[in-house]
């Protein structure tokens, strides 16, 4: 077997499933189901209206077909839209959490206890749509930071949620966002009040369990004037034979001088390495709005999993002098398909954006960068820099680049550059001649290739991401 | 079971009322082309059938997203049945000094041998020009089956189909093996106004170069005495055999109300080279669809473009370089200067097929936006299915650099002189590469005139 062909031999290391009884709605989607979700969640009245409107809109829409992706039609009636672990009582500490559940996190390398003690990271662990444990909540409360599940926020801070929910990603935005708006069951809510720097990095680990349950997460982060927050999101999912749909929506709102940093490491089940069967469909709408002057939103993502990734974390740069950033590493292997990138919409004066995208394709995968930089008439003095590089490993994979650059005023400066390269046998030979094994060589080359993005990640995430890429490309050479 | 996600371009729109342009052009295709040999009618018929299945362009289609087509859609076009007299003086004024004896003239889409000058060309053994009307049935049949017919079935470009459906007297150019045509051939496409009716023309060219043949042409599109809108649907098919080399300069000087849809398909063989220089300065709405397929190893394609757009002109440049063979190279360099309410679009794709290893492709698009309402849309795209390739692309959109202007003015140049120098420098990179000397002077002069007109008589020599 040649060096590069062996790439396909990497199995999903987190393929297991925890047996926990779940309260589950029958498969199918109709108005009654939407009402039932609303009832089960005990949400305020305005949410019913929100959900039903979204559902009505969704019915009128058609699945987007413009992405460079191939997959069988999704039967939206074959999905159960609500599943909750049967644990009704709110937990105050980790001791009260189902040990089996904790063991699941343990296998993922994430121990809440350890995290709590060692890293000072508050974790809102989402296990199949309902928050189980929220640590450090009290510490945060002292600073006035609200960090809770969105269902809790709907109960305790309905006005805040009402004000911002759907303000960045309207229910009518796209097919999957409309679906999410109608049926989302849980997610995270963060509110950082004025003049507050969030005392710790916030983090949510997502986990998809319960076979054939689509997960519809909804995350809303609001950073008030002069506030700052860094949010981490990481995902792994058990190996299932049937495709799972994940249509999440993430909304960020940055008010005047506020700064939000949103980091993601995504490593969901990518399906059978040979056939691509069974992987997660990750159709996510992520968008941030720099609403206030001098606000700043930064997206960092490391996408390594999922059978299909369809995801464009975007920034609406509305406030004058606001800044948007997008740093991305997307790795596809075997039969994975990724169509990912960003949109930077410049509206305010002197807005700036930076896009750094690194795509790595291996095996038989398809990796597309699709980005849009739009400079509106009002965005005087807007500035954008884009760099998207692709790396191909093996001759069966594809790397595509689709940048859209629309400039509608005469004071904007936009630069876009892209390149494609490969890990050559020569480079590996060079490493080997210096006594470095081929695997380590590839890991080093990849690590160097992704350096610009990794250094944007919080330290512990950067390490994890680096390790993850090496793990994903294990056996790719030999 | 697998549904392939593609662009929405091909999806039929439901219950869409036909635009005036679509109705009238479709009606115009019905009139038979009496001058052509029988087999061509089959080709026209096939294109007509296909045309009825392909949706008329609207902005809802991805590939026409940035085209403002209202002006075109709402116009009722008739086909040209009139070929007004063009005086020798008029023609002489349009002829390049290098091409005095090598000028082929098309009027309103139809090849006009009596207006053409072929003295220099007939002297070259192995250079053949045959109007479609002058072919016998067998030759026409061969051209259709070998070159033209296959592409109609899969074609979804409405204007290219309209061109075939309206096919009038086109021209076939053939250069035999090893023949070097050492004079540049001027192909003069005149849209000559006849009356107040908007007219559509369908010029068509086929060029076949044998192994190691060489040819340089200048496609010159001009409007004369036009009182109304015209629509030019140029079609050009180029076939380069192994080692052949062709350079074409596409000089667009359409009149103010000219719509221009230019489709070309180029096949580049082994060791063959295709060079194209597009100069888009005029017209109301122009659109260039270049589809270059590199089928042979070490084939090379170079496409340059210089756009100078003002008032409310639109110029859309779509390129697809399809590398099907390894060790091939391609290079694109497009620059545009956009003013007033003009819009310029560069949409280029480099596609590298599986197995086309060791391919080297580059794309660069630079834009100067000099007016608040000017718009630039650029999309350099890569579709890569082979791992051992080198591909790079870049795009910039900006203004004249203030520091550079400051530097020049600090050396004693007036602000206008400094600006002119920078604009001239921006454009010269492309003008310098043109293989016809008289064009350098002419374009530089035109750039200067244009600048003077615009910024007052300030730009110094």
Query: Which of B397, B400, B401, B423 to mutate: most A Cβ within 10 Å?
Result: B397
Task: Name the residue in chain A with its Cα closest to that of B337.
Answer: A410
* A390 chain-B contacts, CB cut-off 8 A: 382, 384
User: Chain centroid to CA B399: how far?
Assistant: 27
Which tokens hold the place of B290? Answer: 């270049």
Mutate to test the interface with B, among A382, A406, A413 (most CBs of B within 10 A): A406
Does B5 contact A65 at a Cβ distance shorter than 8 Å?
Answer: yes
| DSSP letter for each residue of B373-420 | T-EEEEEEEEEE--SS-EEEEEEEEE---HHHHHHHHHTT--HHHHHH
How distant is the Cα of A72 from the closest Cα of chain B, in angstroms?
5
Q: Which helix (H) or strand (E) holds B119?
A: helix B119-122
Tens digit of each residue's pLDDT (9 = 90 or more) over B46-97: 999 999 899 999 988 888 999 989 889 999 998 877 788 888 999 999 999 9
The residue in chain B having the minimum alpha-carbon distance to the alpha carbon of residue A426 is: B388
The per-residue pLDDT for A476 is 56
Do residue A414 and residue B382 have CB atoms under 8 angstroms apart?
Answer: no
Other C-beta atoms closer than 10 Å to the C-beta of A435 total 7
- Both tokens of residue A64? 């987007």
Q: Give the DSSP H or E segment for B247.
A: strand B245-253
d(CA A95, CA B376): 60
> CA of A79, closest CA in chain B: separation in Å?
19
Instruction: Give B380's contacts in chain A (Cβ within 8 Å).
Output: 401, 403, 416, 418
CA distance B368 to chain A (A): 8
A206-236: b (≥16 Cβ within 10 Å) or e: bbbbbebbbbbbbbbbbbbbbbbbbbbbbbb
Phi, psi of A54 (to 5 degrees): -60, -40
Q: Measured between CB atoms, which of B6, B384, B395 is closest to A392? A: B384
Q: Which helix (H) or strand (E) holds A60?
A: helix A45-60
Among residues B232, B216, B336, B224, the alpha carbon closest in space to that of B279 is found at: B336
CA B352 – CA B350 distance, rounded (Å) = 7
For A418, the closest of B2, B3, B392 (CB atoms) is B392
**Short-list A461, A403, A397, CA closest to A423:** A397
CA-closest candidate to residue B239, choices B260, B203, B218, B270: B270
Residue A301, helix vs strand vs coil: strand
- Which helix H or strand E contains A142, and what residues bound it? helix A137-143
Residues whose CB falls within 8 Å of the CB of residue B234, separated by 6 or more in sequence, listed in order:
B163, B189, B203, B204, B205, B219, B221, B260, B261, B262, B263, B264
Asked if residues A338 and A302 have their Cβ atoms less than 8 Å apart, the reply is: no
- Say if A275 is an interface residue toward chain B (CB within 8 Å): no
- Distance between A185 CA and the closest CA of chain B, angstroms: 29
Residues of chain B with C-beta less than 8 angstroms from the C-beta of A415: 394-396, 398
How far apart are the CA of B248 and the nearest CA of chain A, in angstroms? 28
Facing A72 at nearest CB: one of B2, B6, B376: B2
> What confidence score (pLDDT) does residue A381 get?
93
Give the pLDDT of residue B189.
Answer: 95
Q: How far apart are CA A370 and CA B338, in angstroms?
A: 26
Is the Cβ of A163 closer than 8 Å to some Cβ of chain B?
Answer: no
Instruction: Measure the CA–CA gap between A397 and B388, rounded to whole angstroms.
Output: 11
> Where does residue B336 fall: left (phi above 0), alpha (psi -120 to 50 degrees), or beta otherwise?
beta
User: Which distant-in-sequence residues (6+ apart) come within 8 Å of B416 by Cβ?
Assistant: B455, B456, B458, B459, B460
Instruction: Let me know if B143 is exposed, middle or buried by CB neighbors in 10 A (0-12, 13-18, 19+).
Output: buried
Q: Could you give the CA distance from residue B168 to residue B159 in angstroms, rounded to a whole number? A: 15
Spell out which residues of chain A touch residue B332, defining contact as CB-CB under 8 Å: none
pLDDT at residue A475 in the model = 57
Q: A395 CB near a chain B CB, below 8 Å? A: yes
User: Alpha-carbon distance A218 to A233, whole Å?
Assistant: 13
CA distance B4 to chain A (A): 5
C-alpha distance from residue B38 to each of B33, B47, B132, B138, B139 (Å):
9, 15, 11, 10, 11
What is the DSSP secondary structure assignment for residue B147, as one 8-state letter?
A: I
Cβ-defined contact of B395 to A415 (cutoff 8 Å) = yes
The 10s digit of each residue's pLDDT in B361-389 is: 999 999 999 999 999 999 999 999 988 89
Q: Tell me whether A406 touches chain B (CB under 8 Å).
A: yes
pTM assigned to the model? 0.86
Token code pair at residue A229 = 């927050």
- Residues in chain B predicted with pLDDT less than 70, given as ranges, are 1-16, 32-34, 456-461
478 residues of chain A, pLDDT tens digit each: 344 444 334 455 555 555 555 677 888 889 999 999 898 888 999 999 999 999 999 999 998 888 888 888 888 888 878 776 554 344 445 555 556 555 555 555 554 544 443 333 445 555 444 444 455 667 788 899 998 888 889 999 999 999 999 999 998 899 999 999 999 887 889 999 999 999 888 876 544 444 444 578 899 999 999 999 999 887 554 445 455 788 899 999 999 999 999 998 887 778 877 887 778 888 999 999 999 999 999 999 988 888 899 999 999 999 999 999 999 999 998 889 999 999 999 999 999 999 999 999 988 899 999 999 999 999 999 999 999 999 988 888 899 999 999 999 899 999 998 888 888 788 889 999 999 988 888 888 888 898 888 888 877 677 767 777 776 776 555 3
Q: Do A416 and B375 touch (CB under 8 A)?
A: no
| Interchain CB distance below 8 Å, A416 and B378 | yes
């Amino acid at each position: 077997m040649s060096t590069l062909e062996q790439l396909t031999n990497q199995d999903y290391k987190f393929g297991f499933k925890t047996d926990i009884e779940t309260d589950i709605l029958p498969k199918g989607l109709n108005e009654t189901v939407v009402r039932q979700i609303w009832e089960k969640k005990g949400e305020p009245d305005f949410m019913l209206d929100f959900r039903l409107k979204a559902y009505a809109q969704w019915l009128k829409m058609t699945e987007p077909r413009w992405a460079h992706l191939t997959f069988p039609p999704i039967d939206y009636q074959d999905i159960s839209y609500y599943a909750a672990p049967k644990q009704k009582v709110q937990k105050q500490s980790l001791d009260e959490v189902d040990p089996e559940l904790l063991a699941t996190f343990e296998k993922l390398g994430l121990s809440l206890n350890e995290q709590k003690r060692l890293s000072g990271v508050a974790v809102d662990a989402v296990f199949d749509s309902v928050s189980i444990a929220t640590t450090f909540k009290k510490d945060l409360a002292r600073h006035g930071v609200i960090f809770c599940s969105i269902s809790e926020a709907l109960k305790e801070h309905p006005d805040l949620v009402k004000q911002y929910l759907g303000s960045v990603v309207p229910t009518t935005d796209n097919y999957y966002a409309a679906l999410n708006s109608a049926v989302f069951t849980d997610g995270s809510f963060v509110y950082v009040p004025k003049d507050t720097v969030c005392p710790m990095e916030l983090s949510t680990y997502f986990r998809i369990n319960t076979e054939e349950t689509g997960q519809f997460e909804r995350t809303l982060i609001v950073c008030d004037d002069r506030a700052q927050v860094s949010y981490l999101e990481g995902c792994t999912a058990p190996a299932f034979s049937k495709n799972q749909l994940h249509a999440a929506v993430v909304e960020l709102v940055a008010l005047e001088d506020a700064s939000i940093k949103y980091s993601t490491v995504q490593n969901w089940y990518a399906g059978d390495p040979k056939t691509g069967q069974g992987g997660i469909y990750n159709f996510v709408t992520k968008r941030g709005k720099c609403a206030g002057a001098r606000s700043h939103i930064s997206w960092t993502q490391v996408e390594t999993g999922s059978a299909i990734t369809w995801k464009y974390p975007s920034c609406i740069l509305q406030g004058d002098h606001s800044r948007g950033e997008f740093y991305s590493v997307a790795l596809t292997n075997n039969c994975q398909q990724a169509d990912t990138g960003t949109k930077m919409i410049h509206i305010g004066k002197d807005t700036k954006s930076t896009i750094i995208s690194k795509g790595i394709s291996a095996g038989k995968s398809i990796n597309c960068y699709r980005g849009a930089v739009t400079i509106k008439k009002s965005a005087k003095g807007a500035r954008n820099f884009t760099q998207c590089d692709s790396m191909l490993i093996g001759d069966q994979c594809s790397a595509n680049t689709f940048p859209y650059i629309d400039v509608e005023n005469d004071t904007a400066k936009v630069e876009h550059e892209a390149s494609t390269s490969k890990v050559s046998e020569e480079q590996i030979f060079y490493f080997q001649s210096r006594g470095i094994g081929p695997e380590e060589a590839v890991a080093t080359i990849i690590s160097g290739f992704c350096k610009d993005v990794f250094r944007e990640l919080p330290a512990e995430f950067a390490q994890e991401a680096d390790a993850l890429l090496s793990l994903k490309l294990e056996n790719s050479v030999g | 079971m697998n549904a392939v996600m593609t662009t929405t371009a091909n999806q039929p729109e439901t219950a869409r009322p036909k635009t005036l342009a679509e109705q009238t052009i479709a009606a115009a295709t019905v009139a038979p082309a009496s001058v052509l040999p029988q087999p061509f009618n089959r080709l026209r018929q096939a294109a007509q059938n296909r045309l009825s299945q392909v949706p008329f362009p609207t902005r809802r289609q991805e590939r026409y997203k940035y085209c403002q087509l209202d002006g075109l859609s709402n116009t009722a076009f008739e086909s040209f049945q009139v070929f007004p007299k063009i005086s020798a003086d008029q023609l002489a004024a349009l002829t390049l000094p290098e091409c005095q004896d090598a000028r082929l003239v098309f009027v309103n889409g139809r090849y006009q041998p009596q207006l053409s000058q072929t003295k220099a060309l007939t002297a070259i053994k192995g250079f053949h020009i045959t109007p479609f009307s002058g072919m016998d049935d067998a030759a026409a049949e061969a051209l259709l089956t070998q070159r033209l017919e296959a592409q109609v079935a899969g074609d979804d470009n409405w204007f290219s189909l309209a061109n075939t459906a309206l096919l009038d007297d086109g021209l076939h150019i053939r250069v035999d093996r090893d023949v070097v045509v050492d004079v540049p051939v001027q192909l003069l496409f005149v849209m000559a106004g006849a009356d107040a009716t908007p007219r559509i023309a369908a010029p068509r060219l086929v060029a076949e170069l044998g192994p190691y043949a060489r040819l340089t042409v200048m496609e010159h599109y001009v409007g004369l005495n036009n009182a109304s809108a015209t629509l030019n649907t140029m079609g050009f098919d180029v076939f380069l055999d192994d080692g052949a080399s062709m350079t074409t300069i596409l000089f667009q000087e359409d009149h103010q109300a000219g719509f221009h849809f230019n489709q070309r398909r180029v096949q580049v063989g082994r060791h063959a080279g295709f060079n194209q220089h597009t100069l888009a300065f005029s017209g109301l709405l122009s659109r260039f669809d270049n589809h270059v397929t590199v089928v042979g190893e070490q084939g090379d394609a170079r496409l340059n473009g210089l756009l100078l757009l003002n008032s409310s002109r639109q110029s859309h440049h779509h390129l697809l370089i399809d590398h099907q063979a390894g060790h091939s190279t391609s290079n694109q360099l497009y620059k545009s200067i956009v003013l007033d309410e003009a819009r310029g679009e560069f949409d280029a794709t480099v596609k590298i097929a599986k197995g086309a290893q060791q391919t080297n492709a580059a794309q660069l698009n630079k834009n100067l936006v000099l007016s608040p309402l000017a718009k630039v849309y650029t999309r350099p795209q890569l579709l890569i299915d082979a791992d051992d390739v080198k591909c790079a692309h870049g795009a910039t959109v900006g203004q004249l650099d203030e520091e550079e202007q400051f530097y020049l003015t600090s050396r004693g140049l007036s602000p206008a002189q400094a600006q002119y120098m920078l604009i001239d420098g921006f454009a010269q990179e492309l003008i310098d590469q043109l293989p016809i000397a008289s064009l350098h002077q002419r374009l530089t002069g035109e750039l200067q005139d244009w600048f003077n007109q615009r910024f007052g008589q300030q730009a110094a020599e």
